[in-house]
Amino acid sequence: MIDDTSLEFDMFEDMRRKLVELFVTEGYERLEAEKIALYVVQGVREVPKLLAALAEIRSHAHAEVLKALSDVLENAPALDKAKAMLIEHGMKEQE
């Protein structure tokens, strides 16, 4: 996890913008690209916290790891939404 939350925010915002541009370049409408990118970022946003908790695992930190894992899993449906939109777009392209 990045200690500076503004730096972490900037990293995820940069990721979102780059994904949007990638999807637009690949033929997605801008609004659709924005939605997919937002879902992806939402889905992975808690992963650095889980990695940090695992890297610093101590016997008394198990609760922190489990909380971080819970947060990651709670956001997993956002990745499913992104995946569904990508699949739907791919199917439209094949028609």
pLDDT in tens, 42-53: 999 999 999 988
Tokens encoding 69: 């894992």
Please say if the pLDDT value at position 65 is more than 80.
Answer: yes
Tokens encoding 45: 């946003």
The DSSP code sequence of 24-74 is HHTT--HHHHHHHHHHHHHHHTTHHHHHHHHHT--GGGHHHHHHHHHHHHH
Look at 2 and 76; give whichever has higher pLDDT.
76
pTM here is 0.84
**Counting beta carbons within 10 angstroms of the beta carbon of residue 26, is it exposed (0 to 12), middle (13 to 18) or buried (19 or more)?**
exposed
The pLDDT assigned to 31 comes to: 97
The pLDDT assigned to 53 comes to: 87
